[in-house]
Amino acid sequence: MARPRKMASSKEASQTPITAKGARRLKSWDEIPSWQQDNEYILSGYRQATGSFKSCCESLGYVHNETVNIYSHVIGAATFLTAPIYYYRALYLRYPLATQADVFVFSTFFYGVSICFILSATYHIMSNHSPEVQRFGNQLDYLGIVILMWGSTIPSIYYGFYCDPRLQKIYWANVSTLATLCVVATLHPRFRHPDIRPYRAAMYAGLGLSAVVFVMHGILLHGWTVQNRRMSVDWMGLVALFNLMGAVIYAARVPERLRPLRYDIYGNSHQVLHVAVVLAGLAHMLGLSRAFDYLHTHGSVCT
């Protein structure tokens, strides 16, 4: 995942070397066009702009400064794509009271996270292709974030408001509406204009804060103890901690700003963000597992 990058002018783009030959010779910050420049503290390890999807894919076979970003989310996607097989056998079949609704909300979570990681990995693989592909890939990257946020929220609302079907539907409708607005803001050309940026940021903030609203509402209605068992609020807190940690490190651009060149390939802030997001996904998965267990052992009778 990445912040939007400054796009090159048509003149600058035309001067960019578009050739797959010698693409394995990594470039320095000063050698790449501005549309590839995102973090001025990463000074080396850049792939040459190639204009070739084949060359972009070939970069999976050698080490550069996007390698960890790519493989962290390739591995993450593979994990969350295969996890449903285990969960179906280990959890769903264990409880005779488990329903298709459980399958639906878990599937929404697993495939929402997987799609996010797939789009993120695709973006990082193709980010040295051309300005146009880089820009489109960046949009897909942000689309994946929206899908992850939506897919993670749906099951938490289901288990947290299992005994409040009206509130369950209201919160599902709210988060789905906000997610749809974020998708439009991400993909529609009109919303790329700098003047629209505050509105786009507000939509993303609204989607993120919607989780805080329904969690707090549930606690106010049913108390911490009950709602923590139903929704695994403590695990959701760990999810928030991982995401916040990754975002702060990413925004601060540490440790690379403290030790130039040392973290260009391994250990820079963008890579920390990627790993933190994967850990957040795993924490959310464990929290949902506990919520599922609670519901189908002694929490399914509503009073």
Q: What is the pLDDT of residues 35-63, one digit of tens each?
A: 999 999 999 999 999 999 999 999 999 99
Residue 138 confidence (pLDDT) above 70: yes
- Any alpha helices (H) in the chain, and if so which ranges? 10-15, 53-58, 67-90, 100-126, 131-160, 165-187, 197-222, 224-231, 233-252, 269-294
Q: What is the mean pLDDT of the chain?
A: 88
User: Which pLDDT score, from 0 to 100, does residue 220 have?
Assistant: 96
Residue 92 confidence (pLDDT) above 60: yes
Six-digit token string for 77: 């996607």
**Is 124 marked as a binding-site residue?**
yes
Rounded-to-integer distance, Cα 219 and Cα 33, Å: 51
Q: How many other CB atoms sit within 10 Å of the CB of residue 33?
A: 20
**Is 296 marked as a binding-site residue?**
no
Q: Which of 185-189, 190-194, 256-260 has the highest mean pLDDT?
A: 256-260
- Which of 276, 299, 277, 279 minimizes the C-alpha distance to 230? 299
With cut-offs at 50, 70 and 90, classify the pLDDT of residue 272: very high
User: Which pLDDT score, from 0 to 100, does residue 129 have?
Assistant: 98
**Is 193 marked as a binding-site residue?**
no
Residue 1 confidence (pLDDT) above 80: no
Establish whether the linkage from the previous residue to 198 is cis, with ω within 30° of 0.
no
- Helix (H/G/I), strand (E/B), else coil: 16: coil
Residue 15 confidence (pLDDT) above 50: no
Query: DSSP states of 43-94 as a string?
Result: -S-BPPP-S-HHHHHHGGGS--TTHHHHHHHHHHHHHHHHHHHHHHHHTGGG
Rounded-to-integer distance, Cα 119 and Cα 221, Å: 38
With cut-offs at 50, 70 and 90, classify the pLDDT of residue 10: very low
User: Which pLDDT score, from 0 to 100, does residue 190 have?
Assistant: 72
Distances (CA, A) of 289 to 53, 235, 295: 40, 10, 10
User: Which pLDDT score, from 0 to 100, does residue 302 have?
Assistant: 77
Residue 88 confidence (pLDDT) above 60: yes
With cut-offs at 50, 70 and 90, classify the pLDDT of residue 5: very low
Question: All domains of the chain, ordered by start, with CATH?
Answer: 66-299 (1.20.1070)
Q: Which residue has the higher pLDDT, 141 or 17?
A: 141
User: Which pLDDT score, from 0 to 100, does residue 299 have?
Assistant: 62
Percent of the chain at pLDDT above 90? 73
Residue 131 confidence (pLDDT) above 80: yes
With cut-offs at 50, 70 and 90, classify the pLDDT of residue 201: low
With cut-offs at 50, 70 and 90, classify the pLDDT of residue 16: very low
User: Which pLDDT score, from 0 to 100, does residue 180 have?
Assistant: 94
Rounded-to-integer distance, Cα 153 and Cα 176, Å: 9
User: Which pLDDT score, from 0 to 100, does residue 18 have?
Assistant: 34
pTM higher than 0.85, yes or no?
yes
